[in-house]
Chain A
Amino acid sequence: MSTAPALTRYADLPALIGLMTGDEKHRIAAESTREVLWVLYDRVLNVSPETAEDPDRDRFLLSKGHGPMTYYAVLAAKGFLDVATLRRWAAFDSPLGHHPDRTLVPGVEISSGSLGHGLGLGVGTALGLRAQGRHRPRVVVLLGDGELDEGSNHEAIAAAGRLGLDRLTAVVVDNGSATHGWPGGIGERFAREGWTARTVSGRDQDALYDALTAPHGNRRPLAVVARVRPKG
């Protein structure tokens, strides 16, 4: 018999997501990030509702802002959001829309929607923390493989590698949605630019945890490619 409070477990995510309706187009995108988001917020990121404004918190930047239902569900499960808020998602005066807005949602680090903005913001965040001598916080940016088409990412990937931003992590959820694909694999793009790249199953929580937490070398940013079933 479980004694956990209601709707705070991984198994509760479907119920939380079920409170939000109306974005069938992006539901697949939301599904693809479920395990990654859960592992990050449950086991990796050092951030909680109590430390959401702490300058030494870990930052999670959802660059792939479409399909944020799972993100909202995880934030609700972890106490950043009231569960009741989910029911009114996408209403005019709801803080929750089809793309997240950092000025409206506690714990959301960036407003996203237009693709290819999160990694550049992540580079700047990592630079800002380093300049302030805050060497402990991590900056984790979640992207999609289709989003990688945006050239802005490649400006950020190259610069982050050369600048040695070892507190920066890019998680690329690869559901094979890039129209022209990434021959040789996505990890190779990052490795060539000086990142440590790891490719794991996006459904294997332990493999994701290991890839996100195993030491990855000084002055090298970390890229974790989380492969999931290609979208139909």
Chain B
Amino acid sequence: MRDVFAETVSAALDTDPRVAVVLADISADRFARAAQRHPDRVVNLGIREQLLIGAAGGLALTGMRPVAHTFAPFLVERPFEQVKLDLGHQGASAVLVSTGASYDGSYYGRTHMAPGDVALLDTLPDWTVHVPGHAAEVERLLRDALAGEGNVYVRLTERGNAAARPVGAGLVTVRAGSRRSAGVVVAVGPMLDRVLAATEDLDVTVAYTATVRPFDREGLNQLVAQAGHADVLMVEPYLAGTSAHEVAAALGDRRHRQGSLGVRRDVEVRGYGTPADHDRAHGLDTEGIAKAARDFFLV
């Protein structure tokens, strides 16, 4: 996904004079050629993440469409006050593109993990948050973000699904349950393949989205209306329950149950190893999701 990101933004630099890229060393090699062509619009600030976001805000104030990029914890968490004040509060906007997702860098340890990034951005209004599940989705989402307005967060991972899905239009039904189904499972971004495998013997509707903010409340409401039960299981690749308030708002017109799978909140999983090790620790491997789904849907 990171290569597609660099290619897509580099191409946009050639065609859209509004686009500028600010970096904090991470991925600077991938933008080396673009920097030669556009030395004033590809700026590596060094390891300075507060300035990364501050400079993005300043660029936006002059009418540019800045892209800021580094690992997720250093893009969203470390300079969070700059994200809050130098973008939205100024009425300025940028496209923030992180890499590393929740624990792609598991072997680096907790310092390089940011499972709270989406929840943190959720404390601010008017952010669009994309969590693509395939490299081909990245290109489409990024092109729209670069051409558009507003603050956009694109959360990249190197662990996607086997196939790209339609993006940009809310929840997409991947597998429809029957009229008597147990409910709806919403798989966010890279969780889809595992969710499909984990629920293959359940009568549930599996819906997919790569865009969690704004959340497709209306789409979820319609899917639930067609299901046998108003039971919704959200499976997100970041903190469990990050979208629980959205599900509640989407289903405010009916009695319903909801469950939330994601990265554990109750403990800090202090381990290295592989991302798959962390999937197991958080119950986000196929087996863990399957067990949680059976428990939730009472089958």
Q: Cβ of B48 and Cβ of A159 under 8 Å apart?
A: yes
Q: How far is the CB of A96 from chain B (nearest CB, A)?
A: 17
Using CB atoms, name the residue of chain B closest to A61: B58
A127-145 contacts to B, CB under 8 A, are 127-132, 134
Interface centre among B55, B57, B85 (most CB of A within 10 A): B55
- Please tell me if B125 contacts chain A, counting CB pairs below 8 Å: no
The contact of A103 among B20, B82, B91, by CB within 8 Å, is B91
Confirm or deny: B27 has a beta carbon within 8 angstroms of a beta carbon on chain A.
Answer: no
Report chain A residues within 8 Å CB of B48.
155-156, 158-159
A131 touches B89 (CB 8 A): no
CA distance A126 to B43 in the complex (A): 12
Is A163 in contact with B43, judged by CB distance below 8 angstroms? Answer: yes
Residues of A within 8 A of B43 (CB): 127, 163
Binary contact readout B48-75 vs A (1 if CB under 8 angstroms, 0 otherwise): 1011011111111111101000000000
* Residue B134 lies at the interface, judged by CB distance under 8 Å to chain A: no
> B58 near A124 (CB under 8 angstroms)?
yes
Which A residues lie within 8 Å of B64 (CB)?
128, 131-132
Contact status A152-B50, CB under 8 Å = yes
Q: Do A132 and B91 form a contact, CB below 8 Å, given A123-B51, A124-B54, A159-B51?
A: no
Q: A55-B62, A102-B90 are in contact. Are A120 and B57 (CB under 8 A)?
A: yes
A122 CA / B55 CA spacing, docked (Å): 7
Do residues B20 and A121 form an inter-chain contact, with CB atoms below 8 A?
no
Cβ of A111 and Cβ of B57 under 8 Å apart? no
Q: How far is the CA of A122 from the CA of B86 in the complex (A)?
A: 11
Would you call A120 and B41 a contact (CB within 8 A)? Answer: no
Contact of A121 with B81 at beta-carbon distance under 8 Å, contacts A128-B20, A128-B61 already known: no
Against A, the Cβ 8 Å flags (1 = close, 0 = not) of B15-36 are 0010010100000000000000
Tell me whether chain A's interface is mostly helix, strand or loop, or mixed: helix
Query: Would you call B45 an interface residue if the criterion is a C-beta within 8 Å of the partner chain's C-beta atoms?
Result: yes
Q: Is B201 an interface residue (CB 8 A)?
A: no
The interface bits of chain B over 66-100 (1 if a CB of A lies within 8 angstroms of the residue's CB, else 0) are 10000000000000011001100111000000000
Whether A123 and B55, one on each chain, are in contact in the complex, defined by CB atoms closer than 8 angstroms, is yes
Closest to A162 in B: B46
Q: Is the CB of B59 within 8 A of A111?
A: no
The A82-120 residues at the B interface (CB cut-off 8 A) are: 102-103, 109-111, 114, 116-117, 119-120
Q: Give the CA-CA distance A134 to B61 in the complex, in Å.
A: 14
Given contacts A111-B85, A130-B40, A152-B54, contact A124 B61 (CB under 8 A): yes
Question: How does the 8 Å CB contact mask read for B267-279 relative to A, with 1 for contact and 0 for none?
Answer: 0000000000000
Q: A5 contacts which chain B residues (CB < 8 A)? A: none
Q: Is the CB of B56 within 8 A of A124?
A: yes
Q: Are B41's CB and A55's CB within 8 A?
A: no
CB pair B86 A120 closer than 8 Å: yes
Beta-carbon contact of B41 and A121 below 8 Å? no
Q: How far is the CA of A87 from the CA of B243 in the complex (A)?
A: 45
Of the candidates B51, B53, B62, B86, the one whose C-beta lies within 8 Å of that of A128 is B62
> What residues of chain B lie closer than 8 Å to A134, measured between beta carbons?
62
Report yes or no: A114 in contact with B56, Cβ–Cβ below 8 A: no
* In the complex, chain B residues whose CB is within 8 Å of the CB of A117: 54, 81-82, 85-86
Please report the C-alpha to C-alpha distance between residue A129 and residue B46 in the assembled complex, in whole angstroms: 21
Q: Which residues of B contact A114 (CB under 8 A)?
A: 81, 85
Residues of A within 8 A of B82 (CB): 117, 120, 152
A177 at the interface (CB under 8 A from B): no
Considering the complex, give the chain A residue whose CB is closest to the CB of B17. Answer: A132
> What residues on B are CB-neighbors of A129 within 8 Å?
62
Max chain B C-beta neighbours (<10 A), residue from A121, A126, A163: A121
Asked, given contacts A127-B43, A128-B64, whether A121 binds B50 with beta carbons under 8 Å apart, the answer is: no
A120-B58, A158-B46, A158-B48 are known; give 8 further A-B pairs, CB within 8 A: A110-B90, A114-B81, A114-B85, A120-B53, A123-B51, A127-B22, A128-B20, A128-B59
Nearest 4 A/B pairs, CB to CB: A124-B58, A120-B54, A128-B62, A124-B55
Which residues on B are within 8 Å of A, measured CB to CB? 17, 20, 22, 40-41, 43, 45-46, 48, 50-51, 53-64, 66, 81-82, 85-86, 89-91
Give 27 A-B contacts (CB < 8 Å), ordered by A residue.
A55-B62, A102-B90, A103-B90, A103-B91, A111-B89, A117-B81, A119-B54, A121-B54, A121-B55, A121-B57, A121-B90, A123-B55, A124-B62, A125-B58, A125-B61, A127-B55, A128-B64, A130-B40, A131-B59, A132-B64, A134-B62, A152-B50, A152-B51, A152-B54, A152-B82, A156-B54, A159-B51
